[in-house]
Amino acid sequence: MTRITVAKGDGIGPEIMDAALSIIKAAGAEIEVDEIEVGEKVYLAGNTSGIAKESWDIIRRNRIFLKAPITTPQGGGYKSLNVTTRKFLGLYANIRPCISLHPFVKTKHPVMDIVIVRENEEDLYAGIEHQQTDEVVQCLKLISRPGCEKIIRYAFEYAKQYGRRKVTCFTKDNIMKQTDGMFHQVFDEIAKEYPAIENEHWIIDIGAAKMADTPEAFDVIVMPNLYGDVLSDVAAQIAGSVGLAGSANIGEECAMFEAIHGSAPRIAGENKANPSGLLQGAIQMLTHIGQTEVAEKVQNAWLRTIEDGIHTYDIYNADVSKQKVGTKEFAEAVISNLGKQPQQLKAVSYDKEAVLQLPKYRRKPAKEKKLQGVDLFVHWGGNNADELASIIKKVNATDVDLSMITNRGIKVWPDGFPETFCTDHWRCRFKPVEGKIFTNRQIIQLMQLAEQQNIDIIKTENLYAFDGKPAFSLGQGQ
């Protein structure tokens, strides 16, 4: 018996939660439910996070959280409960299966069956942003080795558990050689541990185009946060079934399962909503807690019901549907199909032995780290790089030379092009003179000299080599 936390949420939430729970219980799910209140009422009672402290205690104790959609009230100050939950509980993996149900649900991609595995905590979503000059703001893209290892291993273990043949990685490492480069490199390392599963890497732009055009070429796709956010919606939409998709948010300790749609307030309380999205989330929950046989039984009964043409209004189509039903009647139809297999759609069969085995991240031995220089970022309102170079050259610290100036990453000095558009945000790179070493002391000296020259330093970035390999980008055009 597994104790789970359930939140019925807002709008259609209570109806679809009752439907989903009735189906999985009828299928023999061994769960006990602790219900908590989250969402609109809690927000409007003055709690801007939408959840009370005691509810966090229950979620953390039970570790498994099945959540119906909630309504985030309009107006400032209310924080998204989804984002807060993900971050607080360290839910690093977002898993969204996108399957087409052709010919029963309309889609341009009849044989699509893909799973998007999205890293959920890092990348540009670390939320570290700064304005640095009048003209330039920045957002830090943070990618960590533990973050990459956890999500990529999860993708391969998931593929193993669900009998999937291939894991694809999407990155833009031809441009972002350090951040996306690390994601790709870790993918290649971990892929070697799973010789029975095919692996491949695509550059995200052409990969996304291919996915939208020929989704049948893919199986499991793993990617960093931002790409995953965008492409998981594209995948759900082109499967033809945004209202039918569920998603899992998985952490080392806790996990949260939900539908991908919202609380649909306009049809709330009318017994019209389709409970399938939340049911898909509940099925992911059952496999996560090891009740794979129940999960399989529910999924096959659900596929059979869709195939029988028993449809809620949102997917009802006179050409293929046989009966338009409400939320409750749909749930009853799925329950009466428990034990049956779909006849046209592909029945699922989960490997009962392959329960997800995710080792804790083990820190690697530290590499030899050597300082090789520094980038001083300067706020300067001129637009001639040669003029800036002559000002910066007055900052002549011991055994250090100005080696390059870039603007938005493009080299503008030495030998820049007058055509290059420049903002007020300049990167001035200092390197040691030939044969000399570079230390933190020189960075301090550079800062002091710059201050004496009234140069507006807005930040510095150290340039390192790890085990002799330079680990920083060159200037574009360098």
- Is residue 331 at the binding interface for ligand NAD, with CB under 6 A as the rule? no
Binding piece for ligand NAD, criterion CB under 6 A, among 90-98, 101-109, 165-173, 272-280: 272-280
DSSP H or E segment with residue 378: strand 369-379
Residue, CB closest to ligand NAD: 262
d(CA 196, CA 193): 9
- Is residue 70 at the binding interface for ligand NAD, with CB under 6 A as the rule? yes
Binding piece for ligand NAD, criterion CB under 6 A, among 57-65, 92-100, 198-206, 262-270: 262-270
Q: How far is the CB of 272 from ligand NAD (least distance, A)?
A: 7
d(CA 47, CA 170): 39
- Is residue 94 at the binding interface for ligand NAD, with CB under 6 A as the rule? no
Q: How far is CA 99 from CA 21, 94, 241, 469, in A?
A: 22, 16, 8, 43
Between 133 and 263, CB nearer to ligand NAD: 263
For ligand NAD, which residue of 14, 146, 262, 290 counts as binding (CB under 6 A)?
A: 262
Q: Are strands 323-324 and 310-311 parallel, antiparallel or unpaired?
A: parallel
- Is residue 77 at the binding interface for ligand NAD, with CB under 6 A as the rule? no
d(CA 157, CA 276): 25
Burial class of 435 by CB neighbour count within 10 A (0 to 12, 13 to 18, 19+): exposed
Count of positions on this chain that bind ligand NAD (CB under 6 A): 20
Over its C-alpha atoms, the chain yields an Rg (Å, rounded) of: 27
Q: How far is the CB of 203 from ligand NAD (least distance, A)?
A: 30
- Is residue 274 at the binding interface for ligand NAD, with CB under 6 A as the rule? yes
Q: How far is the CB of 254 from ligand NAD (least distance, A)?
A: 17
Binding piece for ligand NAD, criterion CB under 6 A, among 186-194, 229-237, 258-266, 408-416: 258-266
d(CA 102, CA 239): 9
Q: What is the total residue count of the chain?
A: 478
- Is residue 26 at the binding interface for ligand NAD, with CB under 6 A as the rule? no
- Is residue 172 at the binding interface for ligand NAD, with CB under 6 A as the rule? no
Binding piece for ligand NAD, criterion CB under 6 A, among 66-74, 92-100, 215-223, 377-385: 66-74
Q: How far is the CB of 442 from ligand NAD (least distance, A)?
A: 51
Q: How far is the CB of 242 from ligand NAD (least distance, A)?
A: 7
Do 151 and 186 meet the contact criterion of CB atoms below 8 Å apart?
no
Do 76 and 231 meet the contact criterion of CB atoms below 8 Å apart?
no
- Is residue 243 at the binding interface for ligand NAD, with CB under 6 A as the rule? yes
- Is residue 82 at the binding interface for ligand NAD, with CB under 6 A as the rule? yes
Q: How far is the CB of 3 from ligand NAD (least distance, A)?
A: 23
Bridge partner residues of 203 (DSSP): 171
Do 257 and 156 meet the contact criterion of CB atoms below 8 Å apart?
no
- Is residue 258 at the binding interface for ligand NAD, with CB under 6 A as the rule? yes
For ligand NAD, which residue of 55, 71, 94, 199 counts as binding (CB under 6 A)?
A: 71
Q: What are the start-end ranges of the E strands in 1-141?
A: 2-7, 31-36, 64-67, 93-99, 113-119, 129-131, 137-139
379-382 contacts, C-beta under 8 A, 24 or more apart: 379/132, 379/133, 379/134, 379/424, 379/425, 379/426, 379/456, 379/458, 380/424, 380/426, 380/455, 380/456, 381/134, 381/424
Q: How far is the CB of 266 from ligand NAD (least distance, A)?
A: 5
* Residues engaged in binding ligand NAD (CB under 6 A): 12, 16, 69-72, 82, 243, 258, 261-267, 273-274, 277, 314
